[in-house]
Structure 1
Amino acid sequence: MLIPLGLWLGLAKTALVMNALFAAPEDAFRWVALLQWLWWFTSLHFLLAMLAGLAIQRLVLPRRRWTFVPISVAVLILLALMFPMTGDDHTVARTLQVWTITAAGQVSGLVACLWRDIVSIAVVVFALGLVLKFTPARARAGMVLLLQMVVIALCALVGIDLAYQLATGQPTSSRVLLFAALNVKEVAPLIAPEATSFRALAIGGGIFVAAGWAWHHRRLAALPMLAGRQGWGEGVLALALALGILLPAPAHGFLPLLRHTEGTLITLAKTAAPTLAHDIQLSVAAEFVRTGRPRWHSAQMLARQTEATDRKNVVIVMLESMRAVSTTMYTPTLQTTPFMASLASDSLVVEDMTAVIPRTAAAWVAILGGQYPLANEGTQNWARENRKKPRIRSLPSVLRQAGYATSFFTPTDLHFQNDLDVVDIFNFEFIQTEKELARPGAERVTYFGIADEWMVQPILDWTAIQVRAKRPFFTAVMTNVGHHNFETPSTWRKLVFEGVSNPKLDAYYNCLRYIDGVLSTLMEGYRRLGVLKDTIFVFVGDHGQMFDEHGAKQIHNAIYQEGLHVPTLIYAPGMALAPGRVRGPRQQIDVFPTIAELLGLQIEGAELPGQSLLHAVDPERELFYTSSIDWSFLSARHGHRKYVYSFDREPMEVFDLDKDPKELASLRDVDVEELARMKQRMLEWRINAEASMFAYPTDGLDPSAAWLPR
């Protein structure tokens, strides 16, 4: 019964290992590209020679089996003559030597990665063997059918894991699969652009093989169970192999293979439930009881005017998927954002600003709410509970109470998950999304919405109304172009960026250049309205983007710097704000207290985790992150060290961002106590963040009211 599972598991892991060693073509059904990719693996040269030798021996010398060996060697030499090594030393001997060395490394890496999969199959064999051994004879037919269905389901799971990793470059988990299953409608537009023939085969092939095998052996239930010494011997062998699960995953010196040394089924089983320390949960609960409220809170927040209050307008532009390293401000040789770069010369530029979670709605909570956001599932639950009883107050909420006109503009459809609910919670007076902004001829650029240019005039029209009414205003803008799948309007004349070989990255750069032009038009409109000197402008990325760095192609389940480090600048020409650089570790939660300070407002009745960008911070400041798929990854920064924790599925990665800003080499021999301490700190932060977002006071703004944990 388990032969198709073992076969498909081995093929899937082999494909992942090969892809880790040398990336496969985007669509493996482009046969020339596929053959070129396969030829790179010298171990396959030896396999091809052996198969050819076996075939020739069977056809020509069927009775002389020993000739298989010399024929295979002859075929291998012929291949070396046909495809010699390039360079000065291109002899057959040199070619065979290089092939042998590289093949040995490839095979050893594959064996290290397959060992835990072999163990997982042994565990399943032993478990199913016990089930069948103790199943009554009258129920055996039904049990065999049920177990065959389980095997088909496991083959499908292995195929989905393979397709997911090929598409995103990141390991999947039970949490990821559960999230996708519960949000099929919402995630379908994200999956569609990544669908290829090979990925469809990866999913369907395992199901077909397992179902065909089950049909071929449909009379399996009628066969007698193995009995006697032979049956017990096989059971002991399966048990011995199964006990290998207690051994650690094999170590491998090649970093790209490190994540594949754990078995696929073992990884999915481990991630079915988060590995939370029970004492951390108890500690957070005890702290809540002792203090009477969560660690961070804002449900009772008030913004008091002071003698320093200056009722400036505020405009926050949140930039979809804009990573810092791809902008002209942070990489001057890259002409993707020349307008923003020119604006930066008169602005405060934050050198080291990071997102908390690589997810747009999470950025809204951090920037507009000033609180640590939650991942996808947590945000969904929080938005639902917040409608029943407010948990936080936001910057637009307190400014609206202070007499500001407040608005939110985005050309996207906010029906992905609960994004519209999140925006509603912020208590904007005026909201316009794709539904209100779309006009005849408006082109839907991404699967989320129309081009950003369609919101420029409505923003300026709304602003003009506030100017005539002499009313201070707060506007939040969320762009759309720049989101995966990196499409620009059909009217956009694409630019050529020198030295860019990745077509996705080239398309992304064009998106940034397009957004830069839209921002130029918007700022020119504000200039014509005469509001520049009365307005504080904040431009900040919602999250970054990955383009094969660390093997990742998407950001939702990766928390490396490419997905976290975002451009940020504060432009306030009417204030005595000297242009320059804001240094030190900063995070999106710092925007809220910065705006409050610039406006001269005193925040009371709240405990916010952020720190104003106008003041220096401790260079050893701790920052925390999580992936947008909950309980998939956590990360932390402490000074120049960055930690990436995958809930013990893989060894914790530790990087020195001063010496290794691109996180290319994980530090070795890191103190075990340091790793344990940081794991503890990350889990404490994660649990405190959730407790803070869900806790609420029983009586609104009454500061003496008791707080409830949920």
Structure 2
Amino acid sequence: MSSPKTPALMRRRRLTPASNAHSGRSANVGRDRQAVPPDQHAAFIPAGEPLGAAGKGPWEVAWVLLVPLALWLGLAKTALVMDALLAAPEDGSGWVALLKWLWWFVSLRFLLALLAGVVVQRLVLPRYRWASLPIAAAIMVTLALAFPQSSPDQALDRTLRVWAIIAASQVLGLAACLWRDVVSISLTALAMGFVLALTPRRARRGIVHLLQLLVLLLCAVVGIDLAYQLATGQPASSRVLLFAVLNAQELAPLVASETTPFRVLAIAGGILVAAAWAWRQRALAGTPLIGGARAFLGGAVALPLSLAILLPAPAHGVLPLLRHTEGTLITLAMTAAPTLTHEVQVKVAQEFERTRKPRWHSAHMAVAATDKTTRRNVVVVMLESVRAESTTLHTPTLETMPFLSSLASKSLVVEEMTAVIPRTAAAWMAVLGGQYPLANEGTQSWANENRKQPRIRTLPSILRDAGYATSFFTPTDLRFQNDLDVIDTFNFEFIQSERELARPGAERVTYFGIADEWMVQPILDWTAAQAKAKRPFLTAIMTNVGHHNFETPSTWPKIRFEGVSNPKLESYYNCLRYIDGVLSTLIEGYRRLGVLDDTILVIVGDHGQMFDEHGARQIHNAIYQEGLHVPALIYAPGMALQAGTVRGPRQQIDILPTIVELLGYRLEGAELPGQSLLHAVDANRKLFYTSSIDWSFLSARRGQRKYIYSFDRQPMEVFDLDKDPKELAALGDIDAQELASTKQDMLEWRMHAELSMLARPGDGADPSSPWLRK
């Protein structure tokens, strides 16, 4: 009797090579050949591919590889859209605040009702799957009645309609913002598919692993972009990311101060999702590629979606979401290498070749005495992160800086003083060098080259030549980025920073340094020594308190500001109160030394600060007025300087020529962009600005009209500062020629400013010699 397993064994034998001896071999082989579609021998399939095994098309593999990136892009953009519609609660607000924030989104309530309907159906009516929708609808109606979006006495149909409209607008807004991310995923899938199709079979496993690594890195970048935008309120760019990588060690304290569990999750979560998906799909590297129509199916989907990049981003009419309509990866790619128009490059080069000098220069700058020269002392106090609107000087009802306001009544007050770049070292160059500064990336190069051969001379240099003692004091650590190199090139005779000023018990109030009070007595001691030696002096002072993260010394009493709900803004206001007290102590110290009446005191903010205005929380890439407009005054009690107001568009580059004029010197051997504050300026004077991270933003001002250019990542913003000083509503219907002309002007200015900082005299000793580009 045969075993019951015999038929199964016989069936298995027919599928083995040993069965080739079977009399039916030729018939089986024929059937096998007929089962192989002829198009499996497509040209791109390498010889020896195991055609009998289950396979995928190259673009199908690409789509599978990109699943975690698509997921993380979608989650990141959703978080940004939600934050744009309603700002997420501050860190430390607790779970209740977070749940209230999530509950605000009506679309999430619809989603919750739908999920609840499915759960109830599965638990109560498992045999009736269709019941999940009616149950969900009933839950939605209940929620709508319990939490109406309109007046509670409205009819049910109106309540439901309002709910539906709000939910639909939120979903449509999100869809409009996600559309370009779908396009970017499609472009990536299209490219990956081609790479896989053209890769030899032997190398394919390695290529798949490399593509998985690429997806992991892109997920990390998306997470970093999300964390950056949530922390700063500003869009990231390739330049920002590159700057962060190159300066990681120096930026570590800043990053640590902004680290929260959610921001860590934004970065680590993307990496973990990509890694987990790669592990789950680890067999993908060995999957054979098929040919035929199916091989191109994934590509057929990716191609039309990729071509959609030629279409404009969809309009949705929700103003807070405009900045999120471009795809995250597309934005980062666009900012990798901003392209200057060829016409601008040619025009700037031709002007340099024609004049043999940069537009602005000061390598041979000097002062010459006149019959008006007085050799008075000069003190320049630069206030860290003090914006004009937050001072009592500009907002009298705000008791942040009462001493500065009282001093203003005896001073020349500059009404519309602005920074050039919202960066401290840039303010040093503008104020003490009188030149348009470079952004972060260019400043280090300039400092290195200027040390070899002076390209820019500064106020300390020219006054030191005139016999002045010169000093610089700051309670901060100058080793951040290239700050110490910059100050060294300014040619100060005496420099003291945190390293020299710190004493036992000195509290490190910010991650950049100690409290400002610790430098007051050393300043007065140095001043007393100059007074004893009967030397006129220039002292430049840079404060520290007021810098992000807006902390004051722990022993200094804070006060509450009525009506201020943002805790960081209230902390900032207390920083200004502290700085105001330090100013009072310093000036009283000068008075006691008997030098105040012989001193010209200039007080100016280095840049402003952002507290969610325009969605921004940091200033390095924000060139709105909150980040640029700073307080400024000149106090000279011993001079016949009439107290009053300096009107018109002014900039930090105007301070150096003003000081030279007040001292009675004549400026020689230089061409500076600034104009003395002692004279009227054209109401339509052009001013230019740039972000501290290069090629991120440019801005221009003509009279009261201001333009902000983001290198075509989004439409140029235009504001009327006279009617809209807070830049809340961008003007529409601006003539295209006006926008093009302004863009040209901004790019020209940017290139001329860089050339003016980096160009050098061919013969350093001869002012008339032709200049070299670098």
TM-score by length of 2: 0.90
> Would the alpha carbon gap of residues 28 and 676 (structure 1) be closer, same or farther in structure 2, given more than 3 Å must change?
farther
Q: What residue is the counterpart of 1:181 in the other structure?
A: 245
Query: Partner residue of 2:599?
Result: 535
- The answer to whether the Cα contact below 8 Å between 1:28 and 1:198 also exists between their aligned partners in 2 is no
Following the alignment from structure 1 to structure 2, what is the Cα–Cα distance between the partners of residues 36 and 515? 37
Amino acid at match of 1:103: A
Residue in 2 that maps onto 1:58: 122
What's 2:614 paired with? Answer: 550
The one-letter code of the counterpart of 1:540 is V
Task: Read off the aligned partner of 2:208 and give its amino acid letter.
Answer: V
Match of 2:78 among 11, 14, 30: 14
Tell me, in whole angstroms, the C-alpha distance in 2 between the residues paired with 1:130 and 1:27.
Answer: 45
Does residue 652 (structure 1) correspond to residue 711 (structure 2)? The answer is: no
Pairing 1:440-519 to 2, within 5 Å after superposition: 440-519=504-583
Please, which of 389, 401, 409 is the counterpart of residue 325 of structure 1?
Answer: 389
Match of 2:474 in 1: 410
The CA distance in 1 between the partners of 2:552 and 2:154, in whole Å, is 47
Distance in 2 (CA, whole Å) between partners of 1:91 and 1:455 is 68
Cα offset, 1:50, TM superposition: 1.1
**Does residue 608 in structure 1 map to residue 659 in structure 2?**
no
1:85 to partner: Cα distance:
4.6
In terms of mean alpha carbon deviation, does 218-227 or 315-324 score higher?
218-227
1:28, distance to aligned residue in structure 2 (A): 8.2
Larger Rg: 2
CA distance in 1, matches of 2:574, 2:629: 20
Give secondary structure in 2 for the equivalent of 1:445.
coil
Structure 1 gap segments, 5+ residues each: none
Equivalent residue for 1:100? Answer: 164
What is the CA-CA distance between 1:54 and the residue it aligns to? 1.8
Q: Is the counterpart of residue 163 in structure 1 residue 227 in structure 2?
A: yes
Give per-residue Cα distances to partners, 1:277-327, cap 9 Å, x unaligned: 122122211111110110000001111111111111100000000000000
Alignment partners' CA distance in 2, 1:233 and 1:249 = 26
C-alpha displacement of 1:469? 1.2
Deviation at 1:335, TM superposition (A): 0.5
CA shift at 1:90, angstroms? 5.6
Q: CA deviation at 1:637?
A: 0.5
Match status 1:223 vs 2:287: yes
Deviates more, 1:566-575 or 1:24-33: 24-33
Local SS of the residue matching 2:282: coil
Conserved? CA contact 1:396–1:406, under 8 Å: yes
Residue range with higher mean Cα deviation, 527-536 or 506-515: 527-536
Q: Which secondary structure does the structure 2 equivalent of 1:238 belong to?
A: helix
Letter in 2 for 1:148: Q
1:374 equivalent to 2:438? Answer yes
1:391 corresponds in structure 2 to: 455
Question: 1:68: how far off?
Answer: 2.2
Distance 1:691 1:599 in 2: 30
Number of residue pairs aligned between Structure 1 and Structure 2: 710
| Unaligned segments of structure 2, at least 5 residues | 1-64
Distance 1:466 1:544, change over 3 A: same
Contact 1:359 1:542 in 2 (8 A): yes
Is the counterpart of residue 622 in structure 1 residue 686 in structure 2? yes
Paired with 2:719 and 2:315, the residues of 1 have a C-alpha distance of: 19
Please tell me whether the aligned partners of residues 184 and 306 of structure 2 are also in contact (alpha carbons under 8 angstroms).
yes
Of 278, 281, 300, which aligns to 1:236?
300
How far did 1:652 drift? 0.7
**Conserved 8 A contact 2:705-2:718:** yes
Preserved contact between residue 150 and residue 162 of structure 2 (Cα < 8 Å): no
Do the aligned partners of 1:84 and 1:91 also contact (CA within 8 Å) in 2? no
Equivalent position of 2:236 in the other structure: 172
User: How far apart, in 1, do the equivalents of 2:733 and 2:150 lie?
Assistant: 39
Distance (whole Å) between structure 1 residues aligned to residue 290 and residue 686 of structure 2: 60
Deviations 1:463-492 (A, max 9, x none): 111111111111100000000000000110
Aligned counterpart, 1:249: 313
Any idea what SS the aligned residue of 1:464 has?
helix
Query: Are 1:140 and 2:204 an aligned pair?
Result: yes
Shift, 1:84, TM fit: 3.8
Partner amino acid for 1:430?
Answer: F
The 5 Å alignment of 1:283-322 reads 283-322=347-386
In structure 2, C-alpha distance between the alignment counterparts of 1:222 and 1:312, rounded to whole Å: 81
Match of 1:666 in 2: 730
- CA contact under 8 A between 1:383 and 1:425: conserved in structure 2? yes
Distance in 2 (CA, whole Å) between partners of 1:303 and 1:701 is 17
Aligned twin of 1:114: 178
Amino acid paired to 2:474: T
Measure how far apart 1:75 and its partner are.
Answer: 1.1
Distance 1:135 1:425 in 2: 54
Q: Secondary structure at the match of 1:570?
A: strand
1:89 is displaced (CA, Å) by 2.3
Deviation (angstroms), 1:440 = 1.2
Deviation, 1:372, is: 0.1
Write the letter of the residue equivalent to 1:576: A
Aligned partner of residue 450 in structure 1, secondary structure: coil
Give, as a single letter, the amino acid of the residue that structure 1 aligns with 2:767.
P
On the 8 A contact 1:636/1:643 being kept in 2, the answer is yes
Partner of 1:449: helix, strand, or coil? coil
Structure 1 residue aligned with 2:133, among 69, 76, 99?
A: 69
Whole-Å Cα distance in 1 between the matches of residues 157 and 474 of structure 2? 64
Q: Which position in structure 1 is the counterpart of 2:19?
A: none
- How far the C-alpha of 1:679 sits from its partner, in A, is 0.6
- For the 8 Å contact 2:338–2:695, the answer to whether it is kept is yes
Shift of 1:210: 0.5
Deviation of the 1:248 alpha carbon: 1.2
Identity %: 74
Deviation at 1:421, TM superposition (A): 0.8
**Which of residues 416, 421, 429 is equivalent to 1:365?**
429
Q: Which amino acid aligns with 1:459?
A: I
C-alpha distance in structure 2 between counterparts of 1:349 and 1:701, whole Å = 39
SS in 1 for 2:137: helix
Conservation of the 8 A alpha-carbon contact between 2:183 and 2:305: yes
Alignment CA distance shift 1:137-1:246 (3 Å): same
Counterpart in the other structure of 2:112? 48
**Amino acid in the other structure paired with 1:241:** L
- Code of the residue aligned with 1:210 in structure 2: it is A
Q: Distance in 1 between matches of 2:730 and 2:752?
A: 28
In structure 2, what is the equivalent of residue 280 of structure 1?
Answer: 344
Contact 2:658 2:675 in 1 (8 A): yes
Supply the AA of the counterpart residue of 2:571.
Answer: A
Give the root-mean-square deviation of aligned CA atoms: 1.2
3-state SS in 1 of match to 2:706: strand
Q: Write out per-residue CA displacement over residues 132-179 of structure 1, whole angstroms, 9 at most, x where no aligned residue.
A: 111111111011000000000000000000000000000000000000
Question: What SS class does the counterpart of residue 625 from structure 1 fall into?
Answer: strand
Q: Are residues 669 and 85 of structure 1, via their aligned partners in 2, closer, same or farther at CA, if it must alter by over 3 Å?
A: closer
Tell me the residue number matched to 1:208.
272
Would the alpha carbon gap of residues 48 and 97 (structure 1) be closer, same or farther in structure 2, given more than 3 Å must change?
same
AA matched with 1:356 = V
Residue 94 (structure 1) shift: 4.2
Larger deviation, residues 525-534 vs 395-404:
525-534
Q: CA deviation at 1:91?
A: 5.5
Give 1:227 shift.
2.4
Distance in 2 between the 1:75 and 1:96 partners? 12
1:149 is matched with 213
Retained in 2: the 8 A contact 1:353–1:568? Answer: yes
Contact 2:144 2:163 in 1 (8 A): no
- 1:594 corresponds, among 627, 644, 658, to 658
